[in-house]
Amino acid sequence: MTTKQSDLLATKPETKKALAVLQRFATQELAFKKLEVAKKEAEATLLQAMIDNDIVKLEGEWGYITKAVRKSYKGFNAEFTKTVLDTTKVAAQVTLTGQLPEGVTQSETQYITKKFKS
């Protein structure tokens, strides 16, 4: 497309409107990305404070924030393996015996869940 064609296209009313929408979206997207970075920092700060102070749930008129733990298992143990490691069986074994099966390692991920009232 030549410069003349671009200029001609940019003078049409529907094209002007579309360009304005895209420009407005670009500024909103930039603001959103900055806000998302701040949100992640705030979540990390809250999670660390909840871990340090052994707090599971924060509640208020604004909603709630809960610390959750996700456990995952990796490794190989013939008793707990189909094609891949059967993590449900491993978790049940850990619950029953309190010990990990041989050849299996456990990792925990802590994260927060939240719900705010509108």
The DSSP result for 24-37, as a single string, is HHHHHHHHHHHHHH
Q: With beta carbons less than 8 A apart as the criterion, state whether 67 and 50 touch.
A: yes
- Note whether 118 and 61 are same-domain residues: yes
- Note whether 69 and 48 are same-domain residues: no
Residue 74 domain boundaries: 56-118
- Note whether 40 and 64 are same-domain residues: no
- Note whether 48 and 77 are same-domain residues: no
Number of domains the chain contains: 2
The residues that bridge with 68 in the sheet, in sequence order, are 111
Give the side-chain half-sphere CA count within 13 A for 59. 2
- Note whether 49 and 63 are same-domain residues: no
- Note whether 47 and 64 are same-domain residues: no
Banded model confidence at residue 89, pLDDT cuts 50, 70, 90: confident
Q: What is residue 80's predicted lDDT score, i.e. its pLDDT?
A: 65
- Note whether 91 and 47 are same-domain residues: no
- Note whether 48 and 99 are same-domain residues: no
Mean pLDDT of 18-33: 89
Q: With beta carbons less than 8 A apart as the criterion, state whether 67 and 110 touch.
A: yes
Q: With beta carbons less than 8 A apart as the criterion, state whether 103 and 76 touch.
A: yes
37-83 pLDDT tens trace? 999 999 999 999 999 999 999 988 889 999 998 888 777 766 666 66
